[in-house]
Each structure stands twice: as structure tokens, then as C-alpha cells.
Amino acid sequence: MTVPAEPAARRALPLRAALSLLAVVIAAALPLVLPLFQVTLLVNVIIFAIVAVGLVLLTGILGLTSFGQAAFMGVGAYTTALLTTQAGWSPWLTLLAGFAVTGVIALILGLVTLRMQGHYLPLATIAWGISLYYTFGNTPALGGFTGLTDIPPIGVFGVPLTSPRHFAYLALIALGLTGLGAQFLLSSRTGRALRALRGGPVVAEAFGVNPFALKVNVFVLSALMASLAGWLYAHSQRFVNPTPFSLQAGIEALFMTVVGGPGHVWGALLGSGLITALREWLRGALPALIGAQGNFEVIVFGILIILTLQFARRGLWPLLDRALPAPPPRAPARAGALPVRAKPQPGAPLLEVERAVKQFGGLRAVSDVSFSLRAGEILGLIGPNGAGKSTLFNLVTGVSPATGGRVTLGGQDVTRLPARQIHRLGVARTFQHVHLQPDQTLLANTMMGGYARGRAGLLASLLHLERAEEAALHHEALRQLERVGLGPHAHTLAGNLALGQQRILEIARALVADPTLLLLDEPAAGLRYGEKLELITLLRRLRDDGVTILIVEHDMNLVMTLVDRLVVMNSGEKLAEGNPDEIRAHPAVREAYLGVDLEEGAA
């Protein structure tokens, strides 16, 4: 994929803006022109779209499947129903009370269940979804399965919203604010971290993310969106019972997200509209067609989901979105500077590994390995396949804690620190197997490297208060892409790059972190000869700029030309240490490499 031509980009932006404005005008007109029944149906579409927006964040982006969102919707609905009918609270106060109750419940459930992996998490959401449903139905104070009636209407400036036409505008405003907040969140450092977490915690944590805390935060946020939908539902229907908050309703909300497009915020509205309208039509058409009463629409929904997963796995919204490609984002005209890390004096001790041990059961992958790295140095870590090099990398970066020994960084013991804390001390890395977001641009992937240099959290991102920080990070990411030679492709999808270019992109992402120590795991794999020469030039320039480098590489020509010193490993143990000339002449090293030419250097 090539970068769109500038004239096309200039046309796309006004056209998208015009279509967005047209959509707003149509949405504002619908409550006035539709029949009253269809306005009520529109309100229901909007309410469930809000639930689906939360599922886009939780399931579509983060990858955590939840069948229990309708139960959170019930918490918000029952909270406002109980407090307005029995305590005389204002509905606006009960909205906040619903947020508080839902947030506490979601926090407890998230802390308990979000450490689960695989199919255990969806099963857990089914369990607590059913539990909350029967709690609603079996609590006398909540009206049992009959529910609560006579819920007062919401008042705006003293005017009660008793008409569905008036209430529809409140629902539209709620959906608009929810959708915009979700869009702002996804375009922020938090959104990039969410996308990185979907592929596993290793990359996200390597750049300063606390995976579990972020999962819990998004889980609670999606529950609060469902609570808002429940508040709207209770005051639009003016009564509540457990049925709309059952497990089946939770499954339907997930259907809406999948059909509309699980990775797209406004796909939630499309999916909600299709499923809700289709359900109403099928409830009338299928019994007449079959000649019997029953919930036959569920069968149709099952078939629809199977067809969607087979032929449109990303949902229906991307099919519409593809017709109008988004223009590349323009770099902000003005941007402040990101905080810059103080670099140690050249030659000062930076990294010390003392008798490091890593044991996996009966396998000793790293055995009593010691070496040091001084600031301003390029140290090579080499050895045959299975020598333990990548395992040692993981010990240094905190991905895998050492079984024994000690690792210090700048005099600080980091042996037991998690990867995210070690990263914040100035360590950035690339990976042996490329870890990128292939459906995101080079720019977005590179900006992920600056996560720890930002401060804006989830709330600031929702309110779009992170703009100055994002502008600075945008400029820094572009600067690093130019630095590694990928600047002209900044708006190309990362998945369209060759493997060698993807490895260079990982270096650019690491550089955005402003590291003191840069760890490179086989960065030359997949590079052509000329690209390797450019890599050597780049790494030498980084060293001159104050970046210390620890590199694992199988290309002996490149290593012998580039590094200042070498540590050779074999079978988990340190075999030798010295400068390239000493390593070339070391008999044990020559024997370990079984005749590999260590004399030849790169051009």
C-alpha cells in the first residue's frame, strides 16, 4: 500500500466532514419525522448502541469477550428506579449513583476475573451475568421478576421528557458524547496500548504499560457505558424488570458489536440498528410464516453471526468505511517538547549482570552468566542457536524474572522489577519475532514507543485533554521514522512492509522511548546487504548520540564490524568475552561455531 496522493487526501477530508454533518442533520430530524412507534424503536437502538460502544473497547479493541454487559445495564437501571421511586432522588443524581454502584461492582468483578485466560474469562462473564440477573429477580426490594413501575421522567430545565420524541434527543446526545469519547480514547496513548495488549502483554509492558490495570480500567469504563444505557432505558420505559438484562440480552449486545464491526466505534450504532430492527420485524414475520409462536429470531441471529464471521469478520462498518479512505493525519503545526532523559557519562557503568540464572523446571537456560556494559558502548551477545541469548535478554528487560543472580541498571537493582518499570528507567527493546500492529500505520506503531513519556490517562483521553501531549508525540514519532529512513512511509500500514523494514520500524518505535539502553534482538534478520550497511551506520550514530546498545545477532560480519565488545554464550553459559579481534582468535568460540568464518568482517 502506498501513501495516498495529496490531492486525494484533500478531497477525502471535506467529503468525510460533509457526510458526518449530514449524518448529524439526519439524526436530528428522525425524531420529528418518524412515526411514534419508530421513534421508540430508535431510542432502543441508541440505548443498545451505547452498550455496544463499551463492547467495542472491551472486546473489539482489547480482545476481552464479555457476555455480561446487559447485567451492568441492569445495575444502572435498577439503581435509578429504586432511588427515584422510593427515595425521591432526582434522576440526574441517580445517574451518578448508578455510575458509583456499577463502578464498584465492575471493579470487584474485574479484579477477580480479568486475570483469567482463554475461555475461562467468557465463562466467568456468563456466570456473573446470570448471577446479577437472578439477583434482580429475587430481591423483593427490586420488585422481583415483576419489576418496578412509576419511574419518574427525566426533567431538562423543568420540562419532563415524557414524549419519546423529546427523549430521543437526550439519547442522541448521550450516544454522541459516548461515541466521541471512545474515538478520542482510541486515538490516544491509551488507545494504542489497548491495541498492543490485544496481541499479548509482552510488547505493551515492554513500553511501560501496566496490562492488568489497563484491562480493569477499560472493563469498568465499558460497564459505566452500560450503566448509562440502563439509566436511559429505565426513564424511557418508566418501568424495569429483569428480562432486558438477561444473559440473552448480553449475547445480543455482543451480536450487535460483531455485526457492526467490533473494531469500530460507529459500527456499534450500525449493528444495534440492524439487530434491533431485524428483531422487531422477525418477531412479527416468523410466527406468521411458521404458524407457531416462539423466539425464532434467535435462530436467524445465530445464522447471521455465522455468516458475518465467515464473510465479513471485521463486521459491516469497514465495508462502508472502505469506500471512503481516511486521509493521513496532518502533523500538528505546533507541539511542545517531550521530557528528555538525562544520559550517563560515556564510560560510566550502566548495566551489570552478576551470576544470572534462569531455570525452567529441570532446564537451566542461563547458568551463572556475568558481564557488564558501559555507557556509550555497543556490546554484542552472540552464540549458536539455543545458547540462551534471548532468555538473557528477557532477564535484563524484566520479561522473565531471574531464578538467581543479580541485574543492576545504573546502580539500581532491577532483578525483580517488572518490564514496565525497567522500561521507565531507560530501557527499550526490539524483539526476535517482530511484534507490530499490522493494521495500523507506521506512525501509530512508532507512537506506541512513547507511551511512558506521556502522562494523559484514560479520563483525560476520553475528554480529549491530551492534545498537546499527542502533538509532541506525533512529531517525535515522525522524527524517529525519518531518522531510520522510513519517513516517506509514515502513513503506510505496517503489515504492508517487508520483514526487514518491519525490524527497522521496531527500532524507530524503541527510539521514541528516548532510551538510555537499547536492546536489539536480531535486528538484521531479513535485511539486504545495503540495508545492513545502513543499519550499521544508524547504530553507530545512535551510540554517538548517547544511546548504549546491547545487540543479539547471528550475522557475524555485521557484529564483528559494529560492536566494541562481545559476550559469547553456549548452552546457557558464558564462553568468552572480549573485543572482536580477541573473539575471532578464541579457540573455544571457533569450535562452538563449527567452522563459521569469524575472520571475515562486513564491508
Q: Looking at residues 476-501, what average pLDDT do you find?
A: 91
pLDDT greater than 50 at residue 10: no
Is pLDDT of 5 > 60?
no
The length of the chain, given as a count of residues: 603
Average pLDDT, the chain: 88
Return the pLDDT at 2.
38
Lowest mean pLDDT among 16-30, 295-309, 373-387: 295-309
Residue with the larger pLDDT of the pair 323 and 123: 123
pLDDT digits (tens, 9 = 90+) for 104-141: 999 999 999 998 888 888 999 999 999 999 999 999 99
Angle at 444 between CA 440 and CA 450, to 5 degrees: 145
| Beta-carbon contacts of residue 156 (< 8 Å; ≥ 6 apart) | 170
Q: In degrees rounded to 5, what are phi and psi of residue 190?
A: -65, -40
Q: Is 291 left (phi over 0), alpha (psi -120 to 50) or beta?
A: left
Report d(CA 570, CA 596) in Å as an integer.
Answer: 15
**Alpha-carbon gap, residue 317 to 274, rounded angstroms:** 12
* pLDDT number for residue 515: 93
Q: What pTM does this model have? A: 0.90
In the numeric block, the cell 431510542 is attached to: 43
**pLDDT band at 158, cuts 50/70/90?**
confident
What's the pLDDT at 598?
Answer: 54
Residue 201 in this model has a pLDDT that exceeds 80: yes
Phi-psi region of 380 (alpha: psi -120 to 50; beta: other; left: phi over 0): beta
The pLDDT confidence band at residue 599, using thresholds 50, 70 and 90, is low
* pLDDT at residue number 326: 67
Q: What is the mean pLDDT of residues 558-582?
A: 89
Q: Report the C-alpha gap between 378 and 151 in whole angstroms.
A: 70
Same fold, 12-20+40-321 and 346-426+515-603: no
| % the chain with pLDDT above 70 | 94
Pick the range with the lowest mean pLDDT from 174-183, 400-409, 511-520, 594-603. 594-603
Going by their DSSP bridges, the two strands 363-374 and 349-360 should be labelled as antiparallel
* Across 10-19, 291-300, 334-343, least confident range: 10-19
Element (H, E) at 354: strand 349-360
Instruction: Give residue 519's Cα distance to chain centre.
Output: 23
Is the model's pLDDT at 98 over the cut of 80? yes
Q: How confident is the model over 200-213, as a mean pLDDT?
A: 92
Question: Tell me, what amino acid is at 56?
Answer: V
> In Å, how far are 108, 124, 554 from 215, measured between CA atoms?
13, 15, 37
- Res 4 pLDDT > 70: no
State mean pLDDT over 495-500.
Answer: 90
Considering the domain delimited by 12-20+40-321, tell me its CATH architecture: Orthogonal Bundle (1.10)
Report the pLDDT averaged over residues 364-391: 89
Closest CA to 219 of 137, 130, 305, 124: 124
Query: Which range is least confidently modeled, 158-167, 393-402, 411-420, 590-599?
Result: 590-599
Which residues does 16 contact at the CB level (< 8 Å), separation at least 6? 324, 326, 327
Tell me: pLDDT of 239 over 80. yes
Phi, psi of 62 (to 5 degrees): -80, -25
DSSP 259-311: HH-TT-TTHHHHHHHHHHHHHHHHHHHHHHHHTS-S-THHHHHHHHHHHHHHH
Cα separation of 438 and 283, whole Å? 42
pLDDT in tens, 36-63: 999 999 999 999 999 999 999 999 999 9
What is the pLDDT, as a whole number, of residue 334?
Answer: 65
Per-residue model confidence (pLDDT) at position 341: 85
Kindly list the domain boundaries of the chain, sorted by start residue: 12-20+40-321, 346-426+515-603, 438-513
What was the pLDDT predicted at 13?
Answer: 52
Residue 408: the pLDDT is 93
Asked if residue 401 has pLDDT above 90, the reply is: no
Q: What's the confidence (pLDDT) of residue 593?
A: 66
Average pLDDT over residues 543-557: 89
> What angle, rounded to 10 degrees, do the helices at 120-137 and 247-260 form?
130
Q: How many CA atoms lie within 13 Å of 338's alpha carbon, on the beta-carbon side? A: 27
Q: Check if the beta carbon of residue 343 is closer than 8 Å to that of residue 516.
A: yes
Task: Give the torsion sign (CA, 100, 106, 109, 111).
Answer: negative
Q: Ranked by mean pLDDT, which of 92-106, 155-169, 246-260 comes out on top?
A: 92-106
- 140: CB partners within 8 A, 6+ apart: none
Q: Is the pLDDT reported for residue 215 higher than 50?
A: yes
Query: What superfamily does domain 346-426+515-603 belong to in CATH?
Result: P-loop containing nucleotide triphosphate hydrolases (3.40.50.300)
Secondary structure percentages of the chain, helix, strand, coil, to 5: 60, 10, 30
Distance separating alpha carbons of residues 522 and 574, to the nearest angstrom = 19
Round to whole Å and give the CA distance between 357 and 527: 33
